[in-house]
Structure 1
């Protein structure tokens, strides 16, 4: 057993060697408290003050001249539920979420599931687990491939400059690096952003041991840096300010500390419609969330930028008459642009709780010691209060495995062949538009190839460093859902969210094979066998395909709170909603910038990718002027009285 008192004594001095970061004076952009304070027009109106919206607003207003209004549904909050590092999920129990449930999931025994999306300035970055992870090279190259691979902008190489611009990487202290054997490569990171990727000044020693246990499996790589776009097992940083040891997110990085009269934010306001003159966006209308009947109209002289996220961006497009004609007609909304892909192609990362408990885990201190060892618990509290170090400085763990399916499963070839030969239309809703079906078929062809590749991760497993481990995450689900307006009350109700979980039956095969690998890691691995793993969930008796199917249907959540894909960046003939410049097809002066534009999910938590997409979008917007393919009405009255 290690002498953990010695480790703690060493950790108490780690902050001395940490980098010193200069923080700007804590100012803010202009916060508007009343609808009446909003100007009649701005250069850009951004719908949504979340991860993407605030990033774009910050970048567009850097010149001090370009005027931007951000309209956010949620409040501006400095709650400790958001800022506190310990656990990373404090925000999950907070009031900073929309109150939305999915429809009953047919393949999950008709269970519903909460649709967890942030309702606060900062959006998802304010309430997520702070895991600073990006996908693989193949994940982002896949995006570009849907356009024939002719545009290198949407590839890993094309996005890397924006990943670097999005996050300020602060290396871990030398003592932590040496003790935990953390590796990193600063060439994959930047140092100019006010959104920080930081490291706790202390780590559980068991995390290193659990990471090393993967070395007994052939074919598993150990990249030197989590940002390299490679599969394997690695350490990754946290969205954390390493000086204050608090959450670093869109509000702190792209709103707080900014003093610009040309950057306006109004909160607790609901955008009701994108205003169109013919098929050109001219502004938006919005009301106060508190139930006021007053409707405010604000014009966008250059563009409207929709950054309301994977759930609300498609809803607002449909409410504005941009979307599938059949859905709009059912809701008695006039179709302005028939765009079948809006609200389709909905994706999220399914997760399945699976638990192994190590009865003989002898590497201490461990996370469990905080609750069973009074001396350690007291030290943990004191270490953080005095020196911002110790266990309370760790958010959800900082190491994990992102493993290619071809390494995980001996059945990879068979599953790839099954996906290639599948009648893809049969697993989509029966009234799916032919363009959306074509886009789905293109995605499945790409993922069938990825199942055989060692360069695409299908399995995410975070390491705890303690006596209890287990979480199954399918990084590339094959099923696709929908997010559509409620035809009964489209303006008054939240959208109808249907994950259509496990609607592609091959998802069950992929998830069960991922689980089989996890079982091998915990119980058949010579490096972990000594820890005496006991499988608590689902239990060692679950072995057949039918037993897996029953367990997964009962236990899986279709969401890791990463909604994406509903305004996909794809060719229009593949069900696309936005082009490679993120401009909405058929509509002038309107773009979407958020996770809804992802054509396929990256094999990672979505936050860092959203930042990168927003950084790239801001550059395209500055370079491209108002752009767009809409047409103005030549006669008659435009919406909003233009």
Structure 2
């Protein structure tokens, strides 16, 4: 691929890095007055949709991205938003970094490349929270997982020796986004971790990491299989497309959706580098598509007068559509960085030289990675039923924000009904354990607390106020205690006995459930950088923001395509699900184009349907 070069977008003073391949950032004098589609956000979802909408040459697309092009990838301050959460009272008033990609490619450019899918029942819950005839369940999404992702299998000899199971039936072959097994050298000690976990009571081994099942499996990374470089939305859906109908402007901050009555007609945007320059506008003939993410899509809606009416009035913003769900229902995975063990012959995060390493002559990239994705009945066979009963009998109002209206409370009550069943299912992941050494991190993948993303009423265009409201529902601490106890059971396995494991953190002085709860509150981090849910795809009467076609209620030709539409979080990293959402959304939008649909949020799918 030819190298990148830089140029200036002179009229607006935007200092840009321009790609040599098309589509490229355009100089403002070349900016057209209107396009068929305007996509706000050039990240995982935005670039995927932009690629699909322009593939047949029949539609023009302009992407407006706040970040810039960057040849480097992975987390770095210049590629991340600088956002800190509010203090979290239930976690010792600690504040936390809110990890979001601020670069062309979005968070797919900066994430850890762990490519996990989630389980069938979690996606079926999306459909249950969508009303009758929803197509957002496992069966409706699996074709888009396959369409959006290509699969590169493991080395055959490694797969045989380490029981790396996979089934190509769950993967596609034509996409430019890759899920690959690395062929790097595997340590022989991985067999020990594998055997110890496989023999835990209730543990299963699925046929593939993408089969929609819990259990012990080796999983893919988002890497290209030839050069083992990051595979992400820019490389898969932007670089090298050479389409005159696909354009991008970077360093552009969209601060308003423009309307004619209820029809979205375009957007207003300002220069990121020179705020003294006047705002610019561009029109959309067919649709405005918001893909700015869980934090910033709500901000754009609120600045446009769409959101909770009391909050908008406090910020002196005229209310266009009162949608209390904008910015609510905020979820993320929570984790404890380390349950730390010291073992004879086993270093905490590695192995002594005398324990063998299996050399792979066909090596490339990193070695395959191993994880246990575990349901609550497997985590805590003694207590899962009591936990589920305790949760399902809660009064939602006791633990939700005081500003939640009746629709938001009812939406959470519907989630509560579903989660009470999911907590009892062994096939829904509540704990993710990456297996690469003794002990390690533990994660609660389904926190029941709900946070919020809200504008600063004294500076609405400034940084958003991000409040995880972590552990405000005490059931999250109860679940984390059971997860820690599961780690202890695992490390007490007979397989580890010869290595004399000794727990250093939290240590032998933290034994009772009460002590573990206190320790967990001091050590939980409420984000694994997987924010979702703030513009949920649910019926409006349940606090939803978009309908089944991802159209914003009470508007026309305005849709949302990013992780904010997820009604509940999946028990997996969110990037793979993001690609599936984008692929399905692109088909929905293209169907509207073919059938001349007006894109009306609140039409057939938007009615309050049970």
Q: TM-score, normalised by structure 2?
A: 0.91
Q: 1:506 aligns to what?
A: 475
Distance 1:108 1:301, change over 3 A: same
Equivalent pair of 1:104/1:111 in contact (CA under 8 Å): yes
Equivalent of 1:69, from 62, 70, 92?
62
Mapping for residues 279-358 of structure 1, pairs under 5 Å:
279-292=262-275, 293-358=277-342
Q: 1:8 aligns to what?
A: none
Q: 1:417 aligns to what?
A: 389
| CA–CA separation in structure 2 for the residues paired with 1:28 and 1:388 | 32
| CA–CA separation in structure 2 for the residues paired with 1:101 and 1:304 | 29
| SS of 2:220 mapped into structure 1 | coil
Equivalent of 1:97, from 73, 76, 80?
80
1:273 positional shift: 0.7
1:277 positional shift: 1.2
1:215 positional shift: 2.5
| CA–CA separation in structure 1 for the residues paired with 2:387 and 2:304 | 41
Equivalent of 1:399, from 362, 370, 387?
370
1:356 positional shift: 2.8
| SS of 1:264 mapped into structure 2 | strand
Equivalent of 1:106, from 89, 104, 107?
89
Q: 2:607 aligns to what?
A: none
| SS of 1:30 mapped into structure 2 | coil
| SS of 1:113 mapped into structure 2 | coil
Equivalent pair of 1:35/1:288 in contact (CA under 8 Å): no
| SS of 1:60 mapped into structure 2 | helix
| CA–CA separation in structure 2 for the residues paired with 1:115 and 1:153 | 32
Greater percentage in helix: 1
| SS of 2:268 mapped into structure 1 | strand
| CA–CA separation in structure 2 for the residues paired with 1:388 and 1:113 | 42
Q: 1:274 aligns to what?
A: 257
Q: 1:171 aligns to what?
A: 153
| SS of 2:547 mapped into structure 1 | coil
Equivalent of 2:178, from 187, 196, 200?
196
Equivalent pair of 2:342/2:504 in contact (CA under 8 Å): no
Equivalent of 1:559, from 514, 527, 530?
527
Q: 1:639 aligns to what?
A: none
Q: Does 1:587 align with 2:558?
A: no
1:245 positional shift: 1.0
Aligned residues: 577
Distance 1:232 1:61, change over 3 A: same
Mapping for residues 369-518 of structure 1, pairs under 5 Å:
389=363, 393-394=365-366, 398-409=369-380, 410-464=382-436, 466=437, 468-491=438-461, 493-518=462-487
Mean alpha-carbon deviation: is it higher for 313-322 or for 348-357? 348-357
| SS of 1:284 mapped into structure 2 | strand
| SS of 2:130 mapped into structure 1 | coil
1:388 positional shift: 8.9
| CA–CA separation in structure 1 for the residues paired with 2:362 and 2:431 | 33
1:568 positional shift: 0.2
| CA–CA separation in structure 2 for the residues paired with 1:212 and 1:630 | 51
Equivalent pair of 1:278/1:630 in contact (CA under 8 Å): no
1:538 positional shift: 1.5
1:373 positional shift: 6.8
Q: 1:52 aligns to what?
A: 45
1:368 positional shift: 3.6
Equivalent pair of 2:23/2:240 in contact (CA under 8 Å): no
| SS of 1:233 mapped into structure 2 | strand
Equivalent pair of 2:546/2:601 in contact (CA under 8 Å): no
Equivalent pair of 1:401/1:461 in contact (CA under 8 Å): yes
| CA–CA separation in structure 2 for the residues paired with 1:37 and 1:537 | 59
1:528 positional shift: 2.1
Equivalent pair of 1:309/1:594 in contact (CA under 8 Å): yes
| SS of 2:253 mapped into structure 1 | strand
Equivalent pair of 2:166/2:207 in contact (CA under 8 Å): yes
| CA–CA separation in structure 2 for the residues paired with 1:630 and 1:510 | 38
Equivalent pair of 2:120/2:138 in contact (CA under 8 Å): yes
1:362 positional shift: 5.8
C-alpha deviations, 1:437-461, integer Å up to 9, x for none? 1111111111111111111110100
Distance 1:238 1:288, change over 3 A: same
| SS of 2:295 mapped into structure 1 | helix
Q: 2:216 aligns to what?
A: 233
Q: Does 1:38 align with 2:31?
A: yes
1:358 positional shift: 4.2
| CA–CA separation in structure 1 for the residues paired with 2:516 and 2:246 | 53
| CA–CA separation in structure 2 for the residues paired with 1:35 and 1:177 | 53
Unaligned runs of 5+ in 1: 1-25, 83-90, 632-642
Mapping for residues 80-95 of structure 1, pairs under 5 Å:
82=73, 91-95=74-78
Unaligned runs of 5+ in 2: 1-18, 603-610
Q: 2:608 aligns to what?
A: none
| CA–CA separation in structure 1 for the residues paired with 2:254 and 2:31 | 14
Equivalent pair of 1:588/1:628 in contact (CA under 8 Å): yes
| CA–CA separation in structure 2 for the residues paired with 1:49 and 1:442 | 33
Q: 1:528 aligns to what?
A: 496
Equivalent pair of 1:216/1:527 in contact (CA under 8 Å): no
| CA–CA separation in structure 1 for the residues paired with 2:552 and 2:31 | 26
| CA–CA separation in structure 2 for the residues paired with 1:112 and 1:419 | 27
Equivalent pair of 1:280/1:630 in contact (CA under 8 Å): no
Equivalent of 1:264, from 243, 247, 262?
247
Q: Does 1:599 align with 2:595?
A: no
1:176 positional shift: 2.2
